Amino acid sequence: MATINPRFGEELKKYGAFDFNACYNCGNCTAVCSLSTEDDSFPREMVRFSVLGLEDDIKSSLKPWLCYYCGECTTNCPRTAYPGELMMSLRRWLTSVYDWTGLSGLLYKSLPLSIFAFILAALGVIIFSVQEKFDLATIMHYGHYFEMYAILTVFGVILLPNIIRMWWFVILKPEIKVSFKNYLSGFWELMVHMFTQKRALGCDDNQLRWFEHFILVIGYLGLLFTTVVLDWFSSGSLFITVLGYLLSIIVFTITVIFVSERIRKKKELSKFSQPSDWLFVIWLFLMGLSAFGVRVFIDTKILENNIWIYLLHLIILVQWALIIVPFGKWTHFLYRSFAMYFAKLR
Amino acid sequence: MNKKLGVYICHCGGNISDYVDVEKVRQSVEKEEGVFLAKTTMFACGDSNQKEMVEDIKSNHLDGVVVASCSPKLHLLTFRAVTERGDLNKYNYVHANIREQASWAHSDDKAGATEKAIHIVKAAIAKVRYAESLVPIKISSIKSVAIIGGGVAGMKAAIELSDLGCQVYLIEREYFVGGRVSQWDTLFTTNETGKELVTRLYNDLAKRKNITVYTGTEVISNSGSIGDFKLKVKITPRYIKEKCNQGELQNAIDACPVEVPDDFNFNITSRKAIYHNFPGEYPQSPVIDTKNCTRCGACEKICENVDFSQKEEIKEINAGSVLMATGFDPYTPADGEFGYNLYNNVVTLPQLKRMIDLSDNTLKFKGREIKNIVYIYCVGSRQVEGENKYCSRYCCTSAIHVAITAKKKFRDIYNFHFNRGIRTYGKQEVLYDESSKMGDIYLQSYEDDPPVVTSQNGKTIVKINDILTGKKELEVEADLIVLVTGMVPRKDNSVGSLFKLPKGRDKFFNEIHMKLRPVETVIDGITISGACQGPKNIMETVNSALSAAAKSYSYVSKGVLELEPIIARIDKSLCTWCNACSKACPFDAVKMEEDKTKAYAVINNSVCKGCGMCLPVCPTDAINLIAYSNSEIESMIDALA
């Protein structure tokens, strides 16, 4: 027994969904979806749950994460109910459901609040720099430490509890029995999907996009590793220096492609962008570009006189690490791969 | 009896001649008594053969013609016409069917088929020997039409017939015209109100001098038939003088102590014994409902226009044709059907429509504000157990239109449509689109697993196994449950029985042919239009009203009607009036007449259809059917034997 709640639709609209009420359940969307299977059929069912406001059913479902948004469903919808965009909005909503702090939801729903948070983070960096009298060495030293501690804290305090909450919603609460052995044996699946997103290849004509995304993920993780572990900005090794350049170039060129796609709105995937989508790609682009700039300034030995470039990079980094990673779109990196893992367990 | 007969035997391409030896048939019949010429032809219906036949008939002065070919359904009229072109009365033509009855039926037995064909042709020759020239029966027809029912169908038909130059009598049982449509506020797809439609029609009616409108009037008897229906009507007075002072009348209404449920508002409100349904309806004069009036005299003291001296009146109306437009009743759910009369927040769709119309800012029912409205569809239509197997057509669209209206007019309304498949056919589909985009929720079940209405702790819960959600059991708490009721025939349909109008399995009046003769009935001169024939929306009702008007006009336009002469004939000398034929007649065409010597039966020529039902029941064999007399049939049987 489930109670219908038409007010849920109103909430979902704040996460970017629209017109999904027009659905008359023909099922064309599910029929054309190349990822939908008999056991895991979507998106029609998700549209139906959303219309009826069956929150518990959506919370315990992994289907929103199983969709990689090729947009075929939206193209073929006879009622222009935008099922693809609904699935996207459900992912945003689920992100806020998994987040124990509740901040994800607030930031997704309110652009002014997001801007306020970004300004706050920037002010923090500036105030810190003023306190340190704009001493480059000290600031870069703390900047490096910030990176390391921010990663550990965000992961330990926000992301890990959120993953556990996701686990509770999709495995424990629906009382699905999973043996310890399965938890172990499924782990390989988690790694594969986390680093390759191979499921996205199942979408029709998606090879190029998958490749771009794959390279971006490798570039981003590589750049993270190079700056945090190999300490790119302080390293004298030619190999590390060149590697850092290469990875940062990958990050900002691929993100330029993604941003331009969102501007041109040719693909279903990039037609409707929420602030969270823009912030994610633009900040990733700025990160790559500013990191590249900092290292160029170091190598041309003009950083001492142009400390602003490092401050800019640090501001972007802090905003990224404290807002976008724990509460923004970054989390899809984790939830998507864990969804594949939990799906395997089920 | 020296008739010169012409016989033609058709090959029908090979349809006949592949199995029947047509030449042998020709040879076998050419020596028959009276046969002047016998020919075979490749296609009897072909142009060249038709011309040849006309020549043969004219030059040889033939007295009778037989064509042995296909079914008379296909070409009887063709060869009757050929006969006429040969200057011979068309009733001297007899058709023999040797295709369906011989060649096709016995394609495995050529000799047998030929043998049978010979007999069939000989029987036709036997019949044609008796053929006589007949002329159509001509009766005069009064150029006036009586329309029964003053709703949109009746009013629209009246205007149309008036413009064609007919005298029109529009007879309405209620005191006000407009019927069901006057009860509705906004209507689907145009958003005009029912009152606006009725106003427009009434103004059009009032302009026309050849329309007489009778309100409060019932037909009590009919003694005529096509061309001259003689209707007796009973006119109940309004007990209010024609011209009246509105202010005083309102005071009189206020003073009336009687309160009765108001059926104009489907009993959700009450009215006085002196009343009008709403200001500005037609005719614009209130009425005293004497069934409920206690004659206390309160109104009389206030208003001088109240006049209890008015008397019931019986009037006779003569009309060439009768157009039925008596409409429908909304289905009344059974006690307990989806909680009807069981829980206090279950209403019907017409009731909700009146509630919305009568409410201003908030939608309240019995003092409670309404937010969640559950609509249960197909109540009284598409019944699994009950007799109403039909779809009522208007209700899906109407329910959705009402839901949209409620959502737009009042705040925080949530609509839940518990349906069995939405049928907003045609242009009405846009409403379904609009409603779902507005956030209305549609839930669907099969007929064998309907939604269930229960009451828990004072809350009314509706449950459904929704087939759109994998038959998941879903529930919603309803502030108001609306039963989307279909259309049923009028509870009091006595006016139909008065004319012996046949009803279909659905109990609505029946047309002759759904597709080709959709407004005619088997009772000549009576047409049907609107929802008395079956569920229709306003658009479909007006379509059928205009079509019935055209058909009724065709009965009266020329002043004279030609009827088929093949009817029953009574031999007065043999008749002993036992009443058996009158009882057997399905069309009420036999009446008793008396002269000095005896009582005997008389056939009403304009009503008899020549069906022959009266013939076998006559104990004295006093009845003959023209063109099918005993001697004709017996001679055919002899030829076949």
Q: Check which CATH number belongs to the domain holding B509 and give it.
A: 3.50.50.60
CATH code of the domain covering residue B99: 3.40.50
Cβ–Cβ under 8 Å, residues B72 and B95: yes
DSSP for A262-276 reads HHHT-SGGGTS--HH
Same domain, B261 and B283: yes
Q: Measured between beta carbons, which residues in chain B are less than 8 angstroms from residue A21? A: 436-440
Higher pLDDT pick, A202 / B527:
B527
- A155-177 burial by CB neighbour count: b if 16+ within 10 A, else e? eeebbeebbebbbebbbeeeeee
Q: Measured between beta carbons, which residues in chain A are less than 8 angstroms from residue B466? A: 52
How far is it, in rounded angstroms, from Cα B249 to Cα B244? Answer: 7
B506 within some domain: yes
Region A259-281: what's the mean pLDDT? Answer: 92
Same domain, A43 and A108: no
Same domain, B319 and B334: no
How far is it, in rounded angstroms, from Cα A85 to Cα A91? Answer: 10
- A187-220 burial by CB neighbour count: b if 16+ within 10 A, else e? eebbeebbebbebbeebeebeebbebbbebbebb
Same domain, B479 and B605: no
Same domain, B365 and B473: yes
Q: How far away is chain A from the Cα of B332, in angstroms, using its nearest Cα?
A: 29
Q: How far away is chain B from the Cα of A8, in angstroms, using its nearest Cα?
A: 11
Same domain, B83 and B208: no
CATH code of the domain covering residue B586: 3.30.70.3270
Same domain, A147 and A23: no
Q: Are A25 and B438 within 8 A, CB to CB?
A: no
- Looking at residue B184, its pLDDT comes to 93
Cβ–Cβ under 8 Å, residues B544 and B156: no
Region B221-248: what's the mean pLDDT? Answer: 87
ipTM of the complex: 0.88
Name the DSSP letter for residue B177. S
Tokens 């289907």 belong to which residue? A63
Which backbone phi and psi does B589 adopt, to 5 degrees? -95, -10
B632 within some domain: no
Q: B363 burial class (0-12, 13-18, 19+ CB within 10 angstroms)? A: buried
B631 within some domain: no
Check pLDDT > 80 for residue B108: yes
Q: Measured between beta carbons, which residues in chain A are less than 8 angstroms from residue B403? A: none
B96 within some domain: yes
Q: Are A22 and B439 within 8 A, CB to CB?
A: no
A1 within some domain: no
- Provide the β-strand partners of residue B235: B217, B313
- CB proximity A9 to B under 8 Å: yes
- Looking at residue B290, its pLDDT comes to 87
B101 within some domain: yes
- CB proximity A24 to B under 8 Å: yes
B636 within some domain: no
**Position B74, amino acid:** L
Region B323-338: what's the mean pLDDT? Answer: 96
Same domain, B46 and B165: no
Looking at mean pLDDT, say which of B198-202, B283-287, B288-292 comes out highest: B198-202
Same domain, B323 and B334: no
- Of the residues B414, B436, B440, B474, the best mutation for testing chain A's interface (the one with the most A CB atoms within 10 Å of its CB) is B436
B174 within some domain: yes
Please say which residue of A52, A80, A98 terminates a domain.
A98
How far is it, in rounded angstroms, from Cα A13 to Cα B79? Answer: 74
Count of CA atoms in the C-beta half-sphere (13 A) of B398: 29
Check pLDDT > 80 for residue B244: no
pLDDT > 90: what percent of chain B? 86
CA Rg value for chain A: 21
Read off the pLDDT band of A312 (50, 70, 90). Answer: very high
Same domain, A190 and A315: yes
Check pLDDT > 80 for residue B274: yes
Same domain, A147 and A228: yes
Q: Are A6 and B439 within 8 A, CB to CB?
A: yes
- Separation of first and last alpha carbons in chain B: 22
Same domain, B475 and B382: yes
How far is it, in rounded angstroms, from Cα B121 to Cα B68? Answer: 6
How far is it, in rounded angstroms, from Cα A114 to Cα A52? Answer: 30
- Encoding tokens for residue B486? 């279909």
Q: How far away is chain A from the Cα of B117, in angstroms, using its nearest Cα?
A: 59
- CB proximity B463 to A under 8 Å: yes
Q: How far away is chain B from the Cα of A43, in angstroms, using its nearest Cα?
A: 12
Check pLDDT > 60 for residue B1: no
Q: Measured between beta carbons, which residues in chain B are less than 8 angstroms from residue A49? A: 469
Q: Are B438 and A21 within 8 A, CB to CB?
A: yes
At B402-454, the pLDDT tens digits run 999 999 999 999 999 999 999 999 999 999 999 999 999 999 999 999 999 99
- CB proximity B414 to A under 8 Å: yes
Please say which residue of B556, B582, B613 terminates a domain.
B556
How far is it, in rounded angstroms, from Cα A256 to Cα A281? Answer: 8
At B344-366, the pLDDT tens digits run 999 999 999 999 999 988 999 99
Check pLDDT > 70 for residue B237: yes
**Maximum CA extent, chain A:** 69
Region B167-177: what's the mean pLDDT? Answer: 96
Helix/strand/coil for B465: strand
Q: Are B437 and A21 within 8 A, CB to CB?
A: yes
Same domain, B339 and B416: yes
Q: Are A21 and B468 within 8 A, CB to CB?
A: no
Same domain, A132 and A94: no
SS (H, E, C) B353-421: HHHHHHCCCCCEECCEECCEEEEEEEECCCCCCCCCCCCCCCHHHHHHHHHHHHHHHCCCCEEEEEECC
Cβ–Cβ under 8 Å, residues A60 and A168: no
Handedness of CA A102, A107, A113, A116 (dihedral sign): positive
Check pLDDT > 80 for residue B397: yes
Q: Are A2 and B475 within 8 A, CB to CB?
A: yes
Check pLDDT > 90 for residue A287: yes
Same domain, A129 and A189: yes
Which backbone phi and psi does B319 adopt, to 5 degrees? -145, 145
Same domain, B346 and B369: yes
Look up the domain containing A73 and give its range.
Answer: 7-98
Tell me, rounded to whole angstroms, the distance of Cα B79 from its chain centroid: 33
Name the DSSP letter for residue B571. -
pLDDT > 70: what percent of chain A? 100
Same domain, A215 and A116: yes
Q: Measured between beta carbons, which residues in chain B are less than 8 angstroms from residue A40? A: none
Q: Are B439 and A19 within 8 A, CB to CB?
A: no
Q: Tell which residue, B356, B26, B329, has the closest CA to residue B185.
A: B356
Assign residue B357 a region: left if phi > 0, alpha if psi is -120 to 50, beta otherwise?
Answer: alpha
Cβ–Cβ under 8 Å, residues B104 and B18: no
- CB proximity A48 to B under 8 Å: yes
A217 within some domain: yes
Same domain, B171 and B279: no
Q: A76 burial class (0-12, 13-18, 19+ CB within 10 angstroms)? A: middle
- Looking at residue B282, its pLDDT comes to 86
Compute the CA torsion angle B206, B212, B215, B221 (nearest 10 deg): -160
A173 within some domain: yes
Look up the domain containing B428 and give its range.
Answer: 329-488
Region B567-573: what's the mean pLDDT? Answer: 94
**Maximum CA extent, chain B:** 97
How far is it, in rounded angstroms, from Cα B218 to Cα B209? Answer: 22
At B578-610, the pLDDT tens digits run 999 999 998 889 999 999 999 999 999 888 989
The closest CB to that of A52, out of B422, B433, B441, belongs to B441
- Strands B599-603, B590-594: pairing kind: antiparallel
pLDDT > 90: what percent of chain A? 80
Same domain, A149 and A53: no
- Looking at residue B607, its pLDDT comes to 87
Please say which residue of A68, A98, A128 terminates a domain.
A98
At A142-159, the pLDDT tens digits run 999 998 899 999 999 999
In chain A, which residue's Cα lies nearest the Cα of B435? A22
DSSP for A115-161 reads HHHHHHHHHHHHHHHHHTTT-HHHHHHHHHHHHHHHHHHIIIIIIHH
**Position B453, amino acid:** V
How far is it, in rounded angstroms, from Cα A71 to Cα A203? Answer: 9
Size of interface A-B (CB pairs under 8 A): 51
How many domains does chain A divide into? 2
B446 within some domain: yes
- CB proximity B356 to A under 8 Å: no
Helix/strand/coil for B319: strand
Read off the pLDDT band of A39 (50, 70, 90). Answer: confident
Q: Tell which residue, B461, B409, B464, has the closest CA to residue B438.
A: B409
- Strands B321-324, B313-319: pairing kind: unpaired
A317 within some domain: yes
Q: Are B441 and A25 within 8 A, CB to CB?
A: no
The closest CB to that of A1, out of B438, B468, B475, belongs to B475
List, in order, residues 6 or more apart from B387 with CB less than 8 Å away: B506, B507
A115 within some domain: yes
